[in-house]
Structure 1
Amino acid sequence: MACRISELVIDCAGPERLAAFWSGVLGYVELGREDDGSIEIGPPGTGFGGPRPTLVLSPSSDPRPGKLRLRIAVTATDRDLDAELKRLLALGARPADDGRTGTGRRPRVLTDPEGNEFRFLRARSRPTP
C-alpha cells in the first residue's frame, strides 16, 4: 500500500482571505474550522480522504511570504491559458518577478494575496474526477 498527500498546511496571517482565494482558484469549498482559527478547504462532495488533497490555512504570527519550500503549481482545466490567468488575477493573484515582467509573455510565477509564490503551468490538464 502506498501513501498519498491528504492535506497541505499553509501558515498565513489571514486564513479567511486565503481560504477564499484558494477556494476560488481550485473550485474548493470550506470543509471545517478549528478552534485555533484554521480553515480547511477541499473538493466539494468528497472533502478529506478524496482523490485530491485538502488545504488547511493555519493562522500564524510569523508567516513567511515568498518562495515556499513546497511548490504549488496550477494549470487550466476548462479554459484557455489567457482566460485562466485573467481569472486568477481577478481572484487576487499577482505576477511575481520571474524575468518575464514587461515582456508581454504570460507569467509563470504568481503570488497569492499574502505573497506566497505558486507556478502557473503553460499546458492545460484534464480535470480530476
Structure 2
Amino acid sequence: MACRISELILDCADPERLAAFWSEVLGYVEIGREDDGGIEIGPPGVGFGGLQPTLILSPSSDPRPEKLRLHIDVNATDRDQDAELERLLALGAKPADVGQTGTEDWYVLADPEGNEFCLLRRRLQPL
C-alpha cells in the first residue's frame, strides 16, 4: 500500500489573504479553521481525504520567503496557459525570477506573500 498526499501546509503571515488567493486559483472553498488561526481550503463538496489534497494556510510570525524546498505547480483546466496567466496576475500573483532562460514552457509566479509556484502549459481535465 502507498501513501497519498492529503494536505499541503503553507506557512504565511496572513492566512485570510492567502486562503482567498489560493481558493480563487484552485477553485477551492474554505473547509475549516484551525485553533491557531490556520485556514484549510479544499475542493467544494469534498473536503479532507478527496482526490485532491487540501491546502492549510498556517499563520507564522516567521514565514521564510527565501528558496522553498517545495512549491506548487498548477495547470489550467478550462482555458489556455496565457489566459490563465492573465487571471492569476489579476488575482495578485507576480512574475518571479528563479533563473529561468525564457524558453521554458511554464511561468514562475509568486503568490501575494512571495511563495513561488509554477503555471504549467498542459491543460488538465477537471476532476
Q: Structure 2 regions of 5+ residues with no counterpart?
A: none
Distance of 1:38 and 1:46 partners within structure 2? 19
Question: For 1:40-72, what per-residue CA distance to the aligned partner results, in whole angstroms no more than 9, with x for missing partners?
Answer: 000001010100000000000000114321121
Q: What does 1:1-129 correspond to in 2, within 5 Å?
A: 1-99=1-99, 108-127=107-126, 129=127
Measured in 2, the distance between the counterparts of 1:100 and 1:82 equals 18
Count of residue pairs brought into register by the alignment: 126
Relative to its length, the structure with more strand (as a share) is 2
TM-score (norm 2): 0.91
Opposite residue 113 of structure 1, the aligned amino acid is P
**How far apart in 2 are the matches of 1:35 and 1:99?**
39
Q: Offset at 1:108?
A: 1.6
Unaligned runs of 5+ in 1: none
Q: CA RMSD in A?
A: 1.8
AA paired with 2:14? G
Q: Percent identity?
A: 75
